[in-house]
Amino acid sequence: MYGTEAPMISLYMLIFLLLQLSFRMPLVISYNPVDKLAVSCGYSGNANQRGRNWVGDIDSKLFSTIEPQNVQPSIIKALTTPPSVDVVPYDSARIFRSQFTYSFPLKSGGPKFLRLHFYPTTYDNFEIYNSLFSVTADNFTLLKDFNASLWLRDGEDTVSKEYLINVEAGQRLNLTFVPSTKQHQDAYAFINGIEVVSMPPFLYYSDPNSTDQSDNGIHLVGYAYSSPYQLELSRALETLYRVNVGGRPIPPEQDTGMFRNWESDDDRYLVTHRPRSQSAGFGLHVNLKNNTIPDYTAPEELYLTSRSYGMNATENYNVTWLFDVDSKFTYMVRLHFCEFEPEVQNLGDRIFQIFIAETMAEDKADVIEWSTGNLIPVHRDYAVFMSDQRENSNKVTLSIKLQRLPIQRAKTNYYNVILNGVEIFKISDESQNLAGSNPDPMPPQPKPFYQSSNKSSKKTIIVAFLTVVVSSLLLASVIGLILFRRKRSSSCRKGSTKKEGASSSLPSHLCRYFTIAEIRAATNNFDDVFIVGVGGFGNVYKGYIDDGATPVAIKRLKPGSQQGINEFLNEIDMLSQLRHLHLVSLIGYCNDGVEMILVYDFMQRGTLREYLYGSDNNPLPWKQRLEILLGAARGLHYLHAGAKHNIIHRDVKSTNILLDEKWVAKVSDFGLSKVGPTGMSTTHVSTFVKGSLGYLDPEYYKRQRLTLKSDVYSFGVVLLEVLCARPPLIRNVDKHKASLVDWVRKLNDQGKLDQTVDIFLKGSITPECLKWYGQLAMSCLHDDGNQRPSMNDVVGALEFAMQLAEGDKDKSFGGAQDKEKGEESPLIPQFTSDEGSDVLFTSDESGTKDSRVTTISGSSEERAMISGLVFSEIGDPRAR
């Protein structure tokens, strides 16, 4: 197996076996709602979407509809082209030109989730810009003169609204749509989907009978000594934000049973400092036995990820999340906490401060005090009234800030902060209203621009206009790109596990997307113990995904510059389209902040080099070596000619040829050379050159051009490595032995190739096979790239070598078998015909003729110079 790494692996296996059963959180549906109606509007019959049954609203027996007589009836519309989002419930709609009521009978009394789903698009002759309407539920105004298009958020095509409304037992829930014909003559209303789902009575509302007057109520922010705010059932709420801090989005079907949707806080809400996202270690579970909260409060996963600034921060900071809300409403803010870091066990371990809407909400927040212990989840609720921060402004910003405890304030063992989740609800006002104004027709802007625009001048209007134009163009092109990409079939081995429409612009539909939390869980937070390789682009970890079922190699690229991210995504786009038996498969990727991570199939037996030298693995027999080389050659040939692109690997070497448990060779690291060095950091250069110097095509730095034949040269070096079982370059040895290529070439010219052969192979290679193999290697190493064979030729020559190895030279030579792109001849002419003519180069001890020898064995300055040349070459995109 891994030779020296074996003890490490077995230790890992032990830990893994111990934790395997409890490794991933199973989906716990801890609440089963009595009412769970999902209605697909403008649809007849039943439809299944992500395991949920949606009933059509046409002729359904489950509820009734009320249309006033003698007015224009509602219209059913099905989209003729598939929506860019989930088909159910978005491919059909009901359109109202006058008042229309859905009346839902309910099985139980109590608070309900009421969810409205809109897909603002043009439905035949109903142009979306004419839709304008109000919605009421019982006596509450939910939406007023609602223009759904204005509520679309960046990169999303649908608008969903969630309300909480109490319905007395035996009462119906009446949901009424009214087109705003007074405001707009052609106004119409529309709806695609409606959900009515029960919830536990006191999940969010206050229990009036509660005897617990201590700390568990809703704290009025800014009124430290006031009694708790009572959230009464007579209020309706609108859910504005529900966020899994530091973790992935949690889709409705993975909620605790109420189909709530949890977003990720990335980018959208977290504005300063971008603290680390943390996740609990392998196999940890929250402790619900202490009854701090009921098990259905939030998915367990929410409590096992968090953001934390780092233990013992010395600078002052405010980790800040910003949420846009309507002014002149009271909001309930629920903060979820769970201390899972092993350091934080006792009272006073981590004390910090919480500000909500710039007002101190907690001056000594100690999660352990609230929860009574590590891994015990807890939440704290706050009520805050948002006045208008600026004159005549309907939209204001509700901030949540976590500040390190000021030194003089109190004693804490760790100057750090933590937050696991946030929910924000708008509370209906005295006139039973929840509706705010439509957002301005301007996409959300970076905050600085926002702040400078409190006095509206002509200039800002122009800027705003330009911004709208530019952003709409950008948005249009992004949407176009997304639509275009959706059409292409996903070629990644595993399907996307990410929800469509989730908050990410990354190409998750091309390839599986992993959250940083999943990657951290798979590698125990990048524990060094799991490192199986260190490459020029960063470390490679072994990890397990899919509940520990699948071993993977996780390549974590060293954080580079911002511009590296586009390269990275392009690379994934390309790599995910390459599938070949002899290429290592890309399973997925993760991109979170500065993290750029690729996830590959794990190769059990490691690299080819580990079976040649430098390890105590048993040497491989000759035939097996040929088989491995043949596989690798086929993989490279696919890269060169088989795929749509002509991809130059750029870094062919014995450590980039990996072996699976059946000894099948897989080429790895292809395409990535483009990603790594864009950061232009010196570490990339030196590591890259150090790892690959002995393999470099001399034309590479002479003509500064990289071609497919550069890979052939490098493969030639690998052929010699396999034959001779030694590295391409050895320092501090006899000068004419330092370079593998020159050493073998010289002896081959003298007819003494057999003196270079690996001592373990002595006598096991037939002379014909050795001769043929030597010719193949030398032709690959030809100084003139045009004279080298193509990879297709190499495949053919290796197949023939296999036959010669069996001493079966009568078999006719067949040529390459996988000629996807059919290159002409299996062998280049001079290779088959004239034995000597391809070896043009003769070693010259003086070194004057051979720039390669002098530079490689030359001074470190000279080597640095080559590195510079090589590096500028790599920086050049896709040189052919």
Ligand X SMILES: *[C@@H]1O[C@H](CO)[C@@H](O)[C@H](O)[C@H]1NC(C)=O
Identity of the residue, 43 or 205, whose beta carbon is nearer to ligand X in the bound complex: 205
Helix 860-875 with 682-692: angle, nearest 10 deg: 110
User: What's the rounded Cα separation, in Å, for the pair 57 and 43?
Assistant: 6
Residue 287 is a binding residue for ligand X (CB under 6 A): yes
Identity of the residue, 333 or 502, whose beta carbon is nearer to ligand X in the bound complex: 333
Q: How far is the CB of 502 from ligand X (least distance, A)?
A: 24
Residue 472 is a binding residue for ligand X (CB under 6 A): no
User: What's the rounded Cα separation, in Å, for the pair 835 and 850?
Assistant: 22
Identity of the residue, 52 or 172, whose beta carbon is nearer to ligand X in the bound complex: 172
Of 590, 591, 586, the C-alpha closest to 601 is 586
Q: How far is the CB of 234 from ligand X (least distance, A)?
A: 8
Identity of the residue, 441 or 814, whose beta carbon is nearer to ligand X in the bound complex: 441
Burial 339-352 (b: 16+ CB within 10 A, else e): bbbeebeeeebbbb
Q: How far is the CB of 318 from ligand X (least distance, A)?
A: 4
Residue 355 is a binding residue for ligand X (CB under 6 A): yes
Asked if 503 contacts 263 with a C-beta cutoff of 8 angstroms, the reply is: yes
| Interface characters, 195-234, with ligand X (x: CB under 6 A) | -------------xx-------------------------
For residue 14, the SS3 value is helix
Residue 434 is a binding residue for ligand X (CB under 6 A): no
User: What's the rounded Cα separation, in Å, for the pair 601 and 585?
Assistant: 6
Identity of the residue, 287 or 825, whose beta carbon is nearer to ligand X in the bound complex: 287
User: What's the rounded Cα separation, in Å, for the pair 329 and 848?
Assistant: 84
Of 865, 493, 859, 436, the C-alpha closest to 689 is 865
Helix residue ranges per DSSP H, 511-646: 516-522, 563-575, 622-637
At 798, phi and psi to the nearest 5? -70, -35
Strand order in 75-78's β-sheet?
Answer: 75-78, 92-96, 189-191
User: What's the rounded Cα separation, in Å, for the pair 304 and 325?
Assistant: 28
| Interface characters, 171-200, with ligand X (x: CB under 6 A) | xx-x---------x----------------
Residue 108 is a binding residue for ligand X (CB under 6 A): no
Q: How far is the CB of 344 from ligand X (least distance, A)?
A: 11
Of 738, 694, 717, 837, the C-alpha closest to 781 is 717
* DSSP states along 123-155: BTTB-GGGB-EEEEETTEEEEEEE-GGGG--TT
User: Residue 556 belongs to what H/E stretch?
Assistant: strand 550-557
| Interface characters, 114-153, with ligand X (x: CB under 6 A) | ---------------xx-x-----xx-------x-xx---
List, in order, residues 6 or more apart from 125 with CB less than 8 Å away. Answer: none
Q: Which of 103, 210, 454, 561 binds ligand X (CB under 6 A)?
A: 103
Helix residue ranges per DSSP H, 547-599: 563-575
Q: How far is the CB of 486 from ligand X (least distance, A)?
A: 24
Identity of the residue, 110 or 631, whose beta carbon is nearer to ligand X in the bound complex: 110
Q: Which of 316, 561, 764, 872 binds ligand X (CB under 6 A)?
A: 316
Is 651 a catalytic site residue? yes
How many angstroms separate the first and last alpha carbons of the chain? 38
- The identity of residue 840, as a single letter, is L
User: What's the rounded Cα separation, in Å, for the pair 339 and 365?
Assistant: 12
Q: How far is the CB of 439 from ligand X (least distance, A)?
A: 9
HEC readout, 341-398: CCCCCCCCCECEEEEECCEEEEEEECHHHHHCCCCCCEEEEEEEEECCCCCCCCEEEE
Helix residue ranges per DSSP H, 488-542: 516-522
- Total residues in contact with ligand X, by rule CB under 6 A: 33
At 444, phi and psi to the nearest 5? -55, 135
Residue 372 is a binding residue for ligand X (CB under 6 A): yes
Q: How far is the CB of 90 from ligand X (least distance, A)?
A: 19
Q: Which of 3, 68, 342, 441 binds ligand X (CB under 6 A)?
A: 441
Asked if 191 contacts 41 with a C-beta cutoff of 8 angstroms, the reply is: yes
User: Which DSSP state fits 109?
Assistant: -
Q: Which of 226, 312, 755, 872 binds ligand X (CB under 6 A)?
A: 312
Residue 290 is a binding residue for ligand X (CB under 6 A): yes
Parallel, antiparallel, or unpaired for β 421-427 and 329-337?
Answer: antiparallel
User: What's the rounded Cα separation, in Å, for the pair 84 and 116?
Assistant: 18
Q: How far is the CB of 435 from ligand X (least distance, A)?
A: 15
90 burial class (0-12, 13-18, 19+ CB within 10 angstroms)? Answer: buried
Q: How far is the CB of 239 from ligand X (least distance, A)?
A: 21
- The identity of residue 183, as a single letter, is Q
Identity of the residue, 152 or 729, whose beta carbon is nearer to ligand X in the bound complex: 152
Identity of the residue, 283 or 533, whose beta carbon is nearer to ligand X in the bound complex: 283
Identity of the residue, 472 or 704, whose beta carbon is nearer to ligand X in the bound complex: 472
Q: How far is the CB of 101 from ligand X (least distance, A)?
A: 7
Residue 397: both structure tokens together: 């910003």
Q: How far is the CB of 566 from ligand X (least distance, A)?
A: 30
User: What's the rounded Cα separation, in Å, for the pair 70 and 85?
Assistant: 36
Q: How far is the CB of 371 from ligand X (least distance, A)?
A: 8
Site of tokens 């949920």: 52
CA distances to 10, 17, 18, 523 from 14, in Å = 6, 5, 6, 15
Q: Which of 36, 248, 380, 401 binds ligand X (CB under 6 A)?
A: 401
Q: Which listed residue (138, 266, 651, 838) is catalytic?
A: 651
Identity of the residue, 71 or 680, whose beta carbon is nearer to ligand X in the bound complex: 71
Asked if 92 contacts 41 with a C-beta cutoff of 8 angstroms, the reply is: yes
Of 757, 475, 764, 440, the C-alpha closest to 624 is 764
Stretch that binds ligand X, among 155-163, 170-178, 661-669, 859-867 (CB under 6 A): 170-178
Identity of the residue, 17 or 66, whose beta carbon is nearer to ligand X in the bound complex: 66
Q: Which of 155, 373, 439, 815 binds ligand X (CB under 6 A)?
A: 373
Identity of the residue, 205 or 589, whose beta carbon is nearer to ligand X in the bound complex: 205
Residue 311 is a binding residue for ligand X (CB under 6 A): yes
User: What's the rounded Cα separation, in Å, for the pair 849 and 851?
Assistant: 6
For residue 254, the SS3 value is helix
Q: How far is the CB of 60 from ligand X (least distance, A)?
A: 16
In the complex, residue closest to ligand X by CB: 373
| DSSP helix, strand, coil percent of the chain (3-state; round to 5) | 30, 25, 45
Identity of the residue, 441 or 495, whose beta carbon is nearer to ligand X in the bound complex: 441
Q: Which residues bind ligand X (CB under 6 A)?
A: 66, 103, 129-130, 132, 138-139, 147, 149-150, 171-172, 174, 184, 208-209, 287, 290, 311-312, 316-318, 355, 358, 372-373, 376, 401, 403, 413-414, 441
Q: Which residues are catalytic?
A: 651
